Amino acid sequence: MGAGKVTMRYYIVDAFTDRPFGGNPAGVVLLGDEPFPDEGLMLQVAAELRYSETAFVRRLSAAEYHVRYFTPAVEVELCGHATVAAFALLHRLGLATGHCICHTLAGDLTIEAGERVMMQMATPRIVKTIADTGDIYKAIGLNYSEFKIQNSKFDLPVQIAYAGLKDIMIPIPDVATLNALQPDMEAVAAITKEYATTSFHVFTLPTDALTQSHNNAITAYVRDFAPLYDIPEESATGTANAALTHYLAVNGVIPSQGDFAFLQGEAMGRPSVVATRIAPDGTVYVGGTAAIVAEGELLTQ
């Protein structure tokens, strides 16, 4: 290698799936115990890899890591699927097993690294209830005044929920409507910017028949749109589904503790199952399995 070049080992890992080319892909760059490179370089690497997020992982000890997350446009505080991807990779490489600490801009998180990775999310909360929802539904191509939530006895609000990032929780009537959505991405980006949020997290609750057809208890079916961050749609979003878990518990849809599952990515042809858990103390965990798709070296000068 020529003088001045920097080598970084990178991997492509599909999170929230047990097979390649499913779930949500993330870039993972392992730095060993080296310091983080220049922010501009990390942004360039994320843009080159072109995934919604790339995690840069610095090892502090066998059970302690510092992770930073970059979209192709900006650094973000936290990314659930990239964290699952990173710690699944570290486990497969024999670098992390069991209880680990992950330092992020959103705070220090507890990670259980194994074949299935479960990560503690930032303390969840409802940030705001949005009363005037007309523009929000119009942005996803719906007129809310023309329908009601048909598959639930709950009158669910549009709220901003937080579990590391702020996302707008948007209920709609059924799976068919969900899968047919064609959002106006410019309008979605403008509204998420107005409310200082990351995404539109659109969901519907399952009917008994739909739940049984997947042979698993699916808590909700979801799609996530974050065009403000150059992510038109994601096939699995850990932070947003953790926020949705808290939202559903606060609004009485699910119990205040237990295990839950969210099906996402079907409309993209990349079905993903995101597992969440609410502990007795109210802590929300999110996780799943991951598949390593590719690895290589990035040479930068």
Q: Assess whether 94 and 184 both reside in one domain.
A: no
Contact 72, 50 (CB under 8 A): yes
pLDDT at 210 over 50: no
- Cα–Cα dist 242/174, whole Å: 21
Extract the tokens encoding 194.
């107005």
Helices vs strands, H then E, count in the chain: 7, 18
Q: Assess whether 111 and 206 both reside in one domain.
A: no
Task: Please name the residues in contact with 63: beta carbons below 8 A apart, sequence gap of 6 or more.
Answer: 96, 98, 99, 100, 101
What's the mean pLDDT in 107-128? Answer: 92
pLDDT of res. 212: 39
Q: Assess whether 82 and 182 both reside in one domain.
A: no
Nearest to 81, CA basis, from 293, 289, 257:
289
């843009």: which residue's tokens?
Answer: 47
What's the mean pLDDT in 172-188? Answer: 94
Is 237 within the bounds of a domain? yes
Contact 65, 96 (CB under 8 A): yes
Q: Assess whether 160 and 249 both reside in one domain.
A: yes
Nearest to 81, CA basis, from 96, 93, 64, 67:
67
Is 1 within the bounds of a domain? no
8 φ, ψ to 5°? -130, 130
- The mean of the pLDDT values for the chain is 89
Nearest to 243, CA basis, from 181, 187, 148, 170:
170
From the number of C-beta atoms within 10 Å of its C-beta (0-12, 13-18, 19+), residue 180 rates as exposed
Looking at residue 81, which CATH number applies to its domain? 3.10.310.10
Show the domain range for 36. 6-121+288-300
Strands 231-234 and 258-264: unpaired
- Cα–Cα dist 64/98, whole Å: 11
Question: At CA 240, angle to CA 59 and CA 158, rounded to 5?
Answer: 155
Q: Assess whether 32 and 112 both reside in one domain.
A: yes
Q: Assess whether 245 and 212 both reside in one domain.
A: yes
**pLDDT, tens digit, 9 for 90 and up, residues 82-102:** 999 999 999 999 999 999 999
Residues with active-site annotation: 53
Q: Assess whether 294 and 265 both reside in one domain.
A: no
Q: Which of 2-11, 108-117, 253-262 has the lowest mean pLDDT?
A: 2-11
**Structure confidence at residue 296 as a pLDDT band (50, 70, 90):** very high
- Cα–Cα dist 56/83, whole Å: 10
Contact 76, 51 (CB under 8 A): no
Write down the H helix ranges in the chain: 39-49, 80-92, 134-139, 175-180, 185-194, 208-213, 238-250
What's the mean pLDDT in 183-212? Answer: 87
% of the chain at pLDDT higher than 90: 72
Q: Please give the DSSP secondary-structure letter assigned to residue 54.
A: E
pLDDT of res. 149: 52
Q: Assess whether 47 and 188 both reside in one domain.
A: no
pLDDT of res. 231: 86
**pLDDT, tens digit, 9 for 90 and up, residues 126-166:** 999 999 999 999 999 998 776 655 445 557 999 999 998 99
**pLDDT, tens digit, 9 for 90 and up, residues 12-58:** 999 998 888 888 899 999 999 999 999 999 999 999 999 989 999 99
Structural domain tally of the chain? 2
- The residue among 190 and 120 whose pLDDT is bigger is 190
pTM of the model: 0.79
